[in-house]
């Protein structure tokens, strides 16, 4: 049996041409784990983060076969509040050029209906059994995965698209050397979590805009202001769609973060007053930006887990920044 951890974009793309595979199970903690899942908005959905496909991606035509009829090209007016250096310093030394932030600032394609509509349609095409629940442990010696409410699932091959950092905290083995390697890898994997707020507010905008906030006293780093009717035809152009991205330490995450961010939006004149908000959702993207302090150790781990019939796939599974274009090119046959 082939057990896939994570109902990620990667696992869906990998299984697209195998629409029904009785020897495979996909398991995840919950249905909405992928960043592409989006927020429910009436009968539709809206993206949970501003996500753009590089316009020069050579694999765009593959997506047309997956039901995306039309893309909208978004180009931003870029404004910097404070300094660009101040903005970059908020991401604790990660080279932003290798992350999705570079793509975001450059703009790109969004399919009509957002990436969430695409992801949900793709998910609906794949008739592979799903099991949702909290993973208690992955026993790599006996090839067992324990899901909280279920008996253990026994696998022949395990494919993990879950964040590697998270997976490693679940792995158990009697092999002391492998345990040591796993402990070393956990401390070598670095990441920057972000708090992401999505708002729809009264009052339209003429031009899509990115504001990079590098001013002292502001926790917010990025504000993206979009004309929602361009991508989501059911939302009127009398509103704006706003994303606010704020890097945060896990220890700092407190309920007050939302009021702090709203206060900063008002100070930046992005939000007039709270009564103009008609939709607000927020969440914490733990593994928002990822990098490793020790590439060699990571490669060693990938090889070692391979000996246990475990494959690591996708951006989070392999712990290597990968764009939508990279994933489509690699996994969509």
Ligand X SMILES: Cc1cc2nc3c(=O)[nH]c(=O)nc-3n(C[C@H](O)[C@H](O)[C@H](O)COP(=O)(O)OP(=O)(O)OC[C@H]3O[C@@H](n4cnc5c(N)ncnc54)[C@H](O)[C@@H]3O)c2cc1C
Minimum CB separation from ligand X for residue 248, in Å?
13
Q: Which CB atom, from 200 or from 290, has the smaller least distance to ligand X?
A: 290
Measured CA to CA, the distance from residue 227 to residue 205 in angstroms comes to: 6
Q: Is 110 in the site for ligand X (CB under 6 A)?
A: no
Taking a C-beta distance cutoff of 8 angstroms, is the pair 38, 16 a contact? no
Q: Is 52 in the site for ligand X (CB under 6 A)?
A: yes
Stretch that binds ligand X, among 69-77, 82-90, 291-299, 314-322 (CB under 6 A): 314-322
> Which residue among 3, 14, 25, 51 contacts ligand X (CB under 6 A)?
51
Q: Is 60 in the site for ligand X (CB under 6 A)?
A: no
Describe the crossing of helices 295-307 and 176-188 by its angle, rounded to 10 degrees: 140
Q: Is 113 in the site for ligand X (CB under 6 A)?
A: no
The footprint of ligand X on this chain (CB under 6 A) covers a number of residues equal to 34
Write the binding mask 116 to 155 for ligand X: x where contact by CB under 6 A, - elsewhere. ----------------------------------------
Taking a C-beta distance cutoff of 8 angstroms, is the pair 28, 7 a contact? yes
Strand partners, 2: 24, 157
Q: Which CB atom, from 6 or from 177, has the smaller least distance to ligand X?
A: 6
Which single residue brings its beta carbon nearest to ligand X?
33
Stretch that binds ligand X, among 47-55, 124-132, 174-182, 254-262 (CB under 6 A): 47-55
Measured CA to CA, the distance from residue 85 to residue 310 in angstroms comes to: 41
Write the binding mask 9 to 38 for ligand X: x where contact by CB under 6 A, - elsewhere. xx-----------------xx---xxxx--
Measured CA to CA, the distance from residue 273 to residue 263 in angstroms comes to: 9
Q: Is 314 in the site for ligand X (CB under 6 A)?
A: yes
Minimum CB separation from ligand X for residue 51, in Å?
4
Burial of 232 (0-12, 13-18, 19+ CB in 10 A): buried
The total of other beta-carbon atoms located within 10 Å of residue 266's CB is: 13
Site for ligand X in 80-109 (CB under 6 A): 100, 103-104
Give φ, ψ of 284 to 5 degrees: -115, 115
Q: Is 285 in the site for ligand X (CB under 6 A)?
A: yes
> Cβ neighbours of residue 214 under 8 Å, at least 6 residues apart?
80, 81, 82, 83, 84, 85, 86, 87, 88, 89, 90, 221
| Torsion angle of the four alpha carbons 293, 295, 300, 305, in this order, in degrees rounded to the nearest 10 | 80
Taking a C-beta distance cutoff of 8 angstroms, is the pair 182, 301 a contact? yes
Q: Is 198 in the site for ligand X (CB under 6 A)?
A: no
Residues forming contacts to ligand X in the complex (CB under 6 A) are 6-10, 28-29, 33-36, 49, 51-53, 100, 103-104, 161-163, 166, 285-288, 314-316, 322-325, 327
């Amino acid at each position: 049996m082939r057990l896939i951890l994570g109902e990620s974009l990667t696992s869906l793309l990998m299984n697209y041409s195998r629409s029904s595979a009785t020897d495979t199970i996909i398991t995840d903690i919950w249905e909405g784990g992928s960043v592409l899942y989006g927020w429910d908005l009436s009968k539709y959905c809206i993206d949970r983060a501003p996500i753009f496909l590089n316009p020069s991606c050579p694999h765009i035509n593959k997506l047309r076969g997956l039901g995306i009829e039309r893309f909208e090209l978004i180009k931003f007016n870029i404004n910097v509040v404070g300094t660009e250096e101040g903005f970059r310093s908020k991401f604790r030394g990660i080279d932003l050029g290798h992350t999705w932030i570079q793509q975001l600032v450059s703009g790109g394609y969004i399919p009509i209906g957002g990436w969430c509509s695409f992801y949900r349609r793709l998910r609906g095409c794949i008739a592979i059994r799903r099991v949702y629940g909290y993973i208690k442990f992955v026993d790599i010696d006996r090839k067992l995965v324990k899901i909280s409410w279920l008996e253990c699932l026994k696998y022949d091959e395990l494919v993990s698209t879950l964040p590697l950092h998270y997976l490693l905290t679940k792995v158990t083995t009697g092999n002391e050397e492998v345990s040591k390697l796993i402990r070393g890898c956990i401390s070598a994997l670095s990441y920057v979590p972000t708090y992401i707020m999505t708002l729809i507010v009264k009052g339209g905008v003429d031009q899509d805009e990115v504001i990079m906030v590098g001013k002292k006293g502001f926790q917010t780093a990025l504000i993206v202001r979009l004309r929602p009717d361009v991508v989501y035809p059911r939302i009127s152009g009398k509103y704006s769609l706003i994303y606010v991205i704020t890097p945060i330490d896990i220890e700092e995450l407190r309920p007050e973060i939302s009021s702090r961010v709203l206060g900063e939006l008002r100070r930046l004149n992005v939000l007039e007053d709270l009564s103009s908000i008609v939709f607000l959702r927020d969440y914490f993207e733990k593994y928002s930006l990822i990098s490793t302090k020790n590439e060699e150790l990571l490669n060693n781990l990938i090889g070692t887990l391979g000996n246990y019939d475990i494959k690591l796939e996708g951006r989070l599974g392999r712990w290597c920044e990968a764009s939508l274009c990279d994933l489509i090119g690699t996994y969509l046959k």
